[in-house]
Amino acid sequence: MKLGVDGRSGISRNITSWRSAADPSPGAYTFKLVSGGLPEFFLFRGLSKTYASGPWNGAELTGVPNLKSRDFIFTVVSNPDETHYTYYVSDPSVLSRFVLNGTMGQVQRFTWHRGGGWSGFWHFPLDPCDSYARCGAFGYCDVGQSPLCSCLPGFQPRSPQRWSVGDGTGGCARTTNLSCGAGDGFWTVSRMKLPEATSATVHAGMTMDRCRQVCLGNCSCRAYAAADVSGGINRGCVIWAVDLIDMRQYSEVVQDVYIRLAQSEVDALTAAANRRSHVVLVIALVAAISGVLLLGAFAFGCLCFWRKKAAPAGRDNELPLRATKLKLRRDDQGFSDENKMSSEEDDLDLRLFDLAVILAATDNFAADSKIGQGGFGPVYLGRLEDGQEVAVKRLSRKSAQGVEEFKNEVKLIAKLQHRNLVRLLGCCIDGDERMLVYEFMHNNSLDTFIFGDEEKRKLLRWKTRFEIIAGIARGLLYLHEDSRLRIIHRDMKESNVLLDRNMIPKISDFGIARMFGGDQTTAYTLKAWTLWKEGRSVELLDEAMVGSSCDHSQVRRCIQVALLCVDMHPRNRPLMSSIVMMLATENATLPEPNEPGGNIGRSTSDGELSQTQKNGMMFVERTLF
């Protein structure tokens, strides 16, 4: 398959979405390759750009660095005669489809499973940072930080007020103006998606040193980078004489961009970097010395232990207050090939607490230590000997699991690590007692706010509420699609969303339903559906929010997504990846929800699969309930 422009014939090969699942006439979305500068793919909704793949740098599209697979070979050809993208499947037995989903506003790749059925291989946009120019000119997006937008070094927000509420579209402005001459320098930003380069200038045979000089000689030059990094060698040069937009930073290596700054800014940034390096060096030295001392202490302790073991036995010691550790080997047992991780990964340590430690921490499960009551048992605030505060969930005795079976379940839960999941610290097993020890969340659970008195509800402004909604969605996306275990929560409710000091939501009780029966159900109401049909859905907004500043279109979008999630038929419910994108994309065209059905809350086994067919595409995925 080829997508692109043939300069000789003038033919442009693009993909256009259908108007609807039943109407194959041209829809609102078009996906096409734009040449000029460095080639780049754009997703258009009408004439507006909603997503950009990042420029092609000879090795990859810099906005999709994870688009690498031994199953597919991707290439972009760019020369005076033609510019096109093409791919082929390295394994002839693999069937693949490339789809533009006009309902979700996504480009999707599917592969056919040998067992039957199409499965999603990848899709874009993937996360909030994939929204085109999310952080404006001279800003960049990082999905791993909060807020998502930051200014490039040497720049500051144009509108601090809008920036403070999470709106980075206004972009950033220089802290110090350029002198247009020898008084300017460059600062390197790494792991970057290259700025949009359709209006940039490419010099194919130019060295990086020469590129720097050319940029300094042009008062309009904002930045430069290597045009081709294939094979790990920098070739050619691309120069931006326009504002830098649509940048984002990744955790993996993508490419360096050299940003032009006033020399005074470069000097200040260099001095700050040197100070940080000095601090790191001091910390490393202290750590090394401490390590030597600890090693000596450990050797001395071992010597004392063996001497004591060799001595005649005396009276039995009293039960010590201690917490041992279970070694968690990250094995691949029970996981699909696509989720396998290297056997060289570090082990995880999970603390196995003695009952005596838990009793001391919770004051023997005193009533005033109780901070909650969940469907699986009460929760207590505990304080360990070192002063650390923990939450102890004392599980009910409904589980028929044995000790080893319970340990295995706990080990699996402990491997789930995400910013929006409560971290499991350890467990306690004593006879029939089963307890889980979590990090303590200082702002308690979400239900204490949204079902509290008016003053407490007012503390949750709409901006905070929307961030909590988006955080919950990202946590569920990790559990459903991105984690190694792919757990379905099955007991998602307000009391299972905890809030840390910064009001960041963290999902709790994930995986626990596996230890007990699947009979927990959730009642539902038709009130939201009735108000939605009548065009009065905003009336669902908390009365405590009336008169405060909130985005009503955002409120309606959240309600619409929620109604889509409670469709009577599991096959019609969106995947969590689609939900995250629906919430993050303001101009997405969302499908109209159907009336909620009578099976909402019906539990399904973890192995139950649903098949969803929309816009001519088949999804094979676990159901949400």
Identity at 524, one-letter amino acid code: Y
Asked whether 508 and 425 are in contact (CB, 8 A), the reply is no
Antiparallel, parallel or unpaired: β 139-141 and 118-124 = unpaired
3-state secondary structure 220-262: CCCEEECCECHHHCCECEEEECCCCCCEEECCCCCCCEEEEEE
Please give the C-alpha separations between residue 79 and each of 6, 73, 206, in angstroms, as whole numbers: 10, 20, 17
Residue with tokens 């990094």: 229
Q: Indicate if 401 and 502 belong to the same structural domain.
A: yes
Predicted pLDDT of residue 323: 45
Please give the C-alpha separations between residue 11 and each of 55, 112, 545, 597, in angstroms, as whole numbers: 21, 31, 54, 49
Residue with tokens 């990202």: 474
Please give the C-alpha separations between residue 25 and each of 17, 21, 22, 105, 599, in angstroms, as whole numbers: 8, 10, 9, 16, 35
Predicted pLDDT of residue 150: 93
Predicted pLDDT of residue 337: 34
Quick one: which H or E segment has residue 213?
helix 208-216
Q: Indicate if 378 and 420 belong to the same structural domain.
A: yes
Distance of CA 442 to the CA centre of its chain: 23
Please check whether residue 496 lies inside any domain of the structure: yes
Residue 387, Cβ neighbours under 10 Å: how many?
A: 6
Predicted pLDDT of residue 312: 41
Gap between the Cα atoms of 516 and 397, Å rounded: 9
Asked whether 153 and 189 are in contact (CB, 8 A), the reply is yes
Q: Indicate if 331 and 441 belong to the same structural domain.
A: yes
Please check whether residue 471 lies inside any domain of the structure: no
491 is catalytic: yes
Please check whether residue 483 lies inside any domain of the structure: no
Q: Which of 81, 97, 126 is the last residue of a domain?
A: 126
Predicted pLDDT of residue 316: 33
Please check whether residue 617 lies inside any domain of the structure: yes
Q: Indicate if 374 and 511 belong to the same structural domain.
A: yes
Predicted pLDDT of residue 349: 59
Quick one: which H or E segment has residue 350?
strand 348-353
pTM of the model: 0.52
Gap between the Cα atoms of 583 and 588, Å rounded: 9
- If you ran DSSP here, which 8-state letter would residue 198 be given? T
Q: Indicate if 233 and 348 belong to the same structural domain.
A: no
Mutual angle of helices 462-477 and 576-584, in 10-degree steps = 150
Antiparallel, parallel or unpaired: β 23-34 and 155-157 = unpaired
Predicted pLDDT of residue 207: 94
| CA nearest neighbour of 38 among 200, 185, 241 | 200
Question: Alpha helices, DSSP H only, in 311-426?
Answer: 355-361, 403-414
Q: Indicate if 505 and 558 belong to the same structural domain.
A: no
Please check whether residue 36 lies inside any domain of the structure: yes
Predicted pLDDT of residue 11: 85
Q: Indicate if 440 and 538 belong to the same structural domain.
A: no
How many domains does the chain contain in total?
4
Please check whether residue 503 lies inside any domain of the structure: yes
Q: Could you tell me the sign of the dihedral formed by the alpha carbons of 467, 121, 142, 152, in that order?
A: negative
- Per the structure, the complete domain to which residue 147 belongs is given by 139-269
| CA nearest neighbour of 511 among 395, 430, 590, 419 | 395
Gap between the Cα atoms of 425 and 508, Å rounded: 13
Predicted pLDDT of residue 313: 39
- Reply yes or no: is the peptide bond before residue 147 cis, omega within 30 of 0: yes
| CA nearest neighbour of 479 among 420, 427, 529 | 420
Q: Could you tell me the sign of the dihedral formed by the alpha carbons of 94, 98, 101, 106, in that order?
A: positive
Gap between the Cα atoms of 171 and 157, Å rounded: 6
Please check whether residue 386 lies inside any domain of the structure: yes
Q: Indicate if 120 and 143 belong to the same structural domain.
A: no
Gap between the Cα atoms of 374 and 393, Å rounded: 9
Distance of CA 342 to the CA centre of its chain: 21
Asked whether 583 and 561 are in contact (CB, 8 A), the reply is yes
Catalytic residue among 142, 228, 246, 491: 491
Gap between the Cα atoms of 548 and 461, Å rounded: 8
Total count of residues recorded for the chain: 625
Q: Indicate if 28 and 92 belong to the same structural domain.
A: yes
Residue 206, Cβ neighbours under 10 Å: how many?
A: 20
Q: Indicate if 382 and 505 belong to the same structural domain.
A: yes
Q: Indicate if 11 and 76 belong to the same structural domain.
A: yes
**Cα angle, residue 120 at apex, residues 117 and 124 outer, rounded to 5°:** 155
Please check whether residue 465 lies inside any domain of the structure: no
Q: What is the mean pLDDT of each run of 10 residues along the chain (625 residues)?
A: 81 89 89 90 93 91 74 77 81 82 85 74 85 94 85 94 82 92 88 93 93 93 93 90 94 87 92 63 59 67 57 35 42 32 44 89 89 78 89 73 72 81 87 86 85 78 88 87 70 83 85 51 61 84 76 87 85 83 78 71 39 32 29
- Reply yes or no: is the peptide bond before residue 570 cis, omega within 30 of 0: no
